Chain A
Amino acid sequence: MGILDLGRYKGIVFAITGFLVFIAIILAVNHGKAGQFSDNVAGVRFLENRAKQPGAVYDISVQLAERLRQGEKIDETLSSLQKAAAAFDNSLNSLANGGMITDASGDVFVLPTMTTPAAVERLKNASKLWDGYKAKLNPVINFSGSPYYTAQPAPAPAAANGKAPAAAPAAPAEPTVQYSPRGRRLQAALNDLVQYGNTAHGQLAKVMTDLSVEVEAASRTETGTLRAIQVGGMVAALLLLGAIFLFFARNLRKEEAASNRQRKETQDILRTVNEGLFLLDKDLKLGSERSMALNGIFRREDFSDLTFDKLLKDIVPEKTLKTAMDYVALLWGERVNEKLVKTINPLNEVEVHFDNPAGGFDTHFLEFDFNRVKSEGSLSHLLVTVNDVTKRVMLSRELQDSQEKAQAQLDLLLRILHVEPDSLTSFLTDADVSLKMVNSILKEPAREETAFRAKIDGIYRQVHAVKGEAAALGLKTVEQRAHAFEESLNDLKGRPSLSGSDFLPLVVKLDDLFNHLAQVREMLSRLVDLHHAIASKRSAGGEVAAEKVDQWLAGQEQTQITKALVAPPADVAEATGAIGGLERTLEDLAARVASSQSKRVNLRCTGLDAVPEAYRRAVKDITIQLVRNAVVHGIEEPSERAKANKAETGALAVEFSPRGADGYELIVQDDGRGLQLDRIKEVAVERGLITPAQAALLDPRQTMALIFRPGFSTADRVTTDAGRGAGMDLVRILVAELGGRVGLASAGGKFSKFKIWLPTAQSAAAA
């Protein structure tokens, strides 16, 4: 702001300046008049003094005449006369010449009253009189030498005092004075002077007195004027002050009204606007003006003395708070490209959490926008705009989630499309039971290590069953998860001591399996829905649309899908039954495992449709384990079979047959290499199941029984198909749980035959 750029204060500055100038003028006039007054006083004194001078000149003249008459010395008296005459002459001349006077201290100044016409006239008359007087005085004051003859005796000492003759009436008789001619002329001149002076000195004195009176009168007039000026000035000053006050009072009122209106408008805006608005100063303190929406957004009423970090501290995680503070600090930099910085705003979607009085948090999303406010060229504040964008963010996240879910479901769909819906349904039900069983085992209270260790085998069997069936169905994602679960269990088995903490990874994996199976279930349900939709379209004559769906499905997995989806699931279930699904599952499993082992196998299933419901699950689990075992361990590779004069394709048979009151018989037989008893003993020793000494004592029957021991496997490495030795253990336990028996026959290089006897369903239930 320049010195003359007074803005709204311009008016008041000018008014006050004018007022001060006015006061200064009044004071100057006052001062001038006061000076005049003192001049007049000095003038009056001067004139009164000068009024006495003509009288003095006359008195000296008389005294001189008397001394001369007495024959006394006249030098001194003459000198006095000369001085008195000269003094009056000077004074009169000065007065006549522009009113110049000299005060007691010798200062010369002009008395303006002496220039008035009346005074000039008086002075002129006085000058005339004085000129006459001077004409009489000149012969006297110009006298020099002695007025007496030289024979004249010396004057008496008393003559030194001029007044002595007059003051001594009793003096002796007048002496005879002998005058010189010049003395006589002097005496004549003196007589003439005294005669003239007798009238003139009074007149001159009167002129001076009159002038003095005039000056005094003028002085009185000046005093009156001065008083009038003072009073007038004061009144004018008061009036001016009043005017200024009124003017500014009116302006102030106007400005206040305008300011009130603006404030109200601002308040209306701040009360109505939906955004949270506030200013941040350099110390990151919130300004006093803020929008009402802020209260709702931040769920608080009191923002006084609040800083930005305190505003956020309790509602965002520490990491977000640090990011926010760093960003705001960046905005305060003078050399910051605001547009650029705004593009990296990390606070445009901040997740905030408010304490919920009912417990927990209420989560919202806030959008912060910052604008730098500049004042006089420098950054003064940050204007912060806050919006609650929870709905927008939630919608966007829901959309994103559903897209991700759709993608994941599509992936899953592609993985399960080749599986028959019935087999899948059956698997999901069984797997759910297995996993719940795992959870039940986990839930059993355990404090001692033995209790923890006892859980492992039970859990292992359940998970292995799930893994086996998942593998049989080709559900790779489930199989991998179950395999990872088994690995965790294996890890626990190897630990020297166990506690509940060691089981934490298991529950996490169990949770993952539950979730994954739920997704598979959801996908299956959608597939079935789609299936129904296609069927209903067809029945309603919507062939074209249905064909399109078929074509799309066929594009993914031509043979399996069409086979599985052409008929509605209800029909499929009725036509094939759950066991029909098992037959296919076993065929697929045998084919898949054979393929992975570079073997060929032909599976033949008979009687599986006669499996009672009570044994369905167990038979499935048992056959899956045995079929896989047969392909992995029994059936040889084609080249080996050729050498042994066998068909390159191995034969595998699964037979289920009722045996009347004796229950049921399940036979799984292959034409492979049979059980290699030496290898079994060797592995059992390697795995620490038996000692070498025990191995030497085992007969063939006891040796074959080793394969049912937990942890026994002749596979060289652990794969998803074999290796951990849990499969045969599972078979043994399942059979035992049902109250059945397992028989095993084998001929080296010729065959292996598992014969399982199961009691009738009723006796199993009773057991």
Chain B
Amino acid sequence: MMTKVELETFVEGTTHYFATAANQPASVGSPYIVQEGKPTIQEFTGLISIAGKRRGIVYFTASRPMLTVMLMRMGETELTQENMCDLVGEVANTISGNARRDFGKDFMISVPTVVAGEPEKVVTPDNIRSFVIPINWRSHSAQLVVCLE
């Protein structure tokens, strides 16, 4: 069974990134479960795979407008697709780092991969419900999706 601590670790990883890198903290929205079908996938998704004690994927998915504002606030002038991919990749990397720190000894955590505009490439394990945690930042809303056995 998924534990509260595990979920908190992933959420903290995400909010930590916003607080430190994006110069403005994000708030956590009301979490929910997606039992059937695919959870939300926006234009840019940074994804890590996890194996070991738990298996599955964790991803952060955000819209282009949100990433645009984030890049601008970070002082980036080139608002290119590449930079947006890097950004969600970095968020995924921070989540991965947090997870490694908290339970890395029991887990295998992959290097982050980024999917841009191709939701079919985000493959969630079959028959596993996903936890969706909205990450609200300014007027935007991204999602952290935890899909682990």
A21 to B85 CA separation, bound complex (whole angstroms): 83
Report if A511 contacts B (CB, 8 A): yes
- Cβ contact within 8 Å between B105 and A443: no
A361 to B136 CA separation, bound complex (whole angstroms): 30
The residues of B that contact A452 with a CB separation of less than 8 Å are 30
User: Contact mask B54-78 → A, CB, 8 Å, 1/0?
Assistant: 0101000000000000000000000
Report if B79 contacts A (CB, 8 A): no
Q: Please name the residue on chain B nearest to A360 by beta carbon.
A: B49
Which of A355, A500, A510 is most buried by chain B, counting CB atoms within 10 A of its CB? A500
Which A246-296 residues sit within 8 Å CB-CB of chain B?
A: none
Contact with B7, one of A356, A361, A507, A512 (Cβ below 8 angstroms):
A507
A358 to B108 CA separation, bound complex (whole angstroms): 17
The residues of B that contact A447 with a CB separation of less than 8 Å are 27, 29, 136
Nearest CB of B to A293, in Å: 23
The residues of B that contact A22 with a CB separation of less than 8 Å are none
Which A505-557 residues sit within 8 Å CB-CB of chain B?
A: 505-508, 510-512, 514-515
The residues of A that contact B33 with a CB separation of less than 8 Å are 439, 442, 507, 510-511, 514
Contact with A508, one of B7, B29, B123 (Cβ below 8 angstroms):
B7
A104 to B115 CA separation, bound complex (whole angstroms): 111
- Cβ contact within 8 Å between A446 and B30: yes
- Cβ contact within 8 Å between A500 and B133: yes
Total interface residues on B, CB under 8 Å, equals 37
User: Contact mask B109-147 → A, CB, 8 Å, 1/0?
Assistant: 010010000000101000001010110100001000000
Q: Please name the residue on chain B nearest to A351 by beta carbon.
A: B52
Nearest CB of A to B108, in Å: 4
The residues of A that contact B57 with a CB separation of less than 8 Å are 359-360
> How big is the A interface, by class?
35 or more
Report if B106 contacts A (CB, 8 A): yes
Nearest CB of B to A551, in Å: 37
Report if A206 contacts B (CB, 8 A): no
User: Contact mask B25-36 → A, CB, 8 Å, 1/0?
Assistant: 001111111010
Q: A351-B52, A446-B30 are in contact. Are A360 and B110 (CB under 8 A)?
A: yes
A418 to B108 CA separation, bound complex (whole angstroms): 45
- Cβ contact within 8 Å between B104 and A444: no
Nearest CB of B to A28, in Å: 79
- Cβ contact within 8 Å between A507 and B131: yes
The residues of A that contact B131 with a CB separation of less than 8 Å are 507, 511
Nearest CB of B to A291, in Å: 26
- Cβ contact within 8 Å between B7 and A360: no
The residues of B that contact A361 with a CB separation of less than 8 Å are 49-51, 55, 108, 110
- Cβ contact within 8 Å between B49 and A439: no
Contact with A439, one of B1, B7, B32 (Cβ below 8 angstroms):
B32
Report if A327 contacts B (CB, 8 A): no
Q: Please name the residue on chain A nearest to B141 by beta carbon.
A: A445
Q: A447-B29, A447-B136, A504-B31 are in contact. Are A359 and B121 (CB under 8 A)?
A: yes
The residues of A that contact B32 with a CB separation of less than 8 Å are 439, 442-443, 507
Report if A318 contacts B (CB, 8 A): yes
Nearest CB of B to A46, in Å: 103
Report if B20 contacts A (CB, 8 A): no
A315 to B31 CA separation, bound complex (whole angstroms): 32
User: Contact mask A420-457 → B, CB, 8 Å, 1/0?
Assistant: 00000000000000000001001111110001100100
Which A449-468 residues sit within 8 Å CB-CB of chain B?
A: 451-452, 455
Q: A319-B106, A442-B30 are in contact. Are A353 and B51 (CB under 8 A)?
A: yes
Nearest CB of B to A425, in Å: 20
A514 to B134 CA separation, bound complex (whole angstroms): 21
A-B contact count (CB 8 A): 105
Q: Please name the residue on chain A nearest to B48 by beta carbon.
A: A360
The residues of A that contact B102 with a CB separation of less than 8 Å are none
The residues of A that contact B3 with a CB separation of less than 8 Å are 508
The residues of A that contact B7 with a CB separation of less than 8 Å are 504, 507-508
Report if B47 contacts A (CB, 8 A): yes
Q: Please name the residue on chain A nearest to B7 by beta carbon.
A: A504
The residues of B that contact A443 with a CB separation of less than 8 Å are 30, 32
The residues of B that contact A445 with a CB separation of less than 8 Å are 29-30, 134, 141
Report if A559 contacts B (CB, 8 A): no
A424 to B30 CA separation, bound complex (whole angstroms): 31
Report if B2 contacts A (CB, 8 A): yes
Report if A371 contacts B (CB, 8 A): no
Q: A318-B104, A500-B29 are in contact. Are A355 and B2 (CB under 8 A)?
A: no
- Cβ contact within 8 Å between A359 and B113: yes
Report if B84 contacts A (CB, 8 A): no
Nearest CB of A to B42, in Å: 15
Q: A360-B49, A504-B8 are in contact. Are A499 and B27 (CB under 8 A)?
A: yes
The residues of B that contact A504 with a CB separation of less than 8 Å are 4, 7-8, 11, 31, 133
- Cβ contact within 8 Å between B141 and A501: no
Nearest CB of B to A645, in Å: 54
- Cβ contact within 8 Å between B8 and A501: yes
Report if A688 contacts B (CB, 8 A): no
Q: Please name the residue on chain B nearest to A518 by beta carbon.
A: B35
Nearest CB of B to A742, in Å: 31
Q: Please name the residue on chain A nearest to B103 by beta carbon.
A: A317
Report if B107 contacts A (CB, 8 A): yes
Nearest CB of A to B71, in Å: 23
The residues of A that contact B104 with a CB separation of less than 8 Å are 317-318
- Cβ contact within 8 Å between A355 and B110: yes
A328 to B17 CA separation, bound complex (whole angstroms): 40
Nearest CB of B to A502, in Å: 9
Nearest CB of A to B138, in Å: 11
Report if A316 contacts B (CB, 8 A): yes
- Cβ contact within 8 Å between B30 and A444: yes
- Cβ contact within 8 Å between B106 and A317: yes
A616 to B1 CA separation, bound complex (whole angstroms): 34
Provide 26 A-B residue pairs closer than 8 Å at the C-beta atoms, listed in order of the A residue: A317-B104, A318-B104, A353-B51, A355-B110, A359-B121, A361-B55, A443-B30, A445-B29, A445-B134, A446-B30, A447-B27, A447-B136, A451-B30, A455-B30, A499-B27, A499-B28, A500-B30, A501-B8, A501-B11, A504-B7, A504-B133, A507-B131, A508-B7, A510-B33, A512-B1, A514-B33
Known: A317-B52, A317-B104, A442-B32. 16 other contacts (CB 8 A): A319-B105, A319-B106, A353-B52, A356-B49, A359-B113, A361-B50, A361-B108, A443-B30, A445-B134, A446-B29, A455-B30, A499-B27, A503-B31, A507-B31, A514-B35, A514-B129
Give 4 nearest A-B pairs by CB, closest first: A500-B28, A319-B105, A360-B49, A353-B51
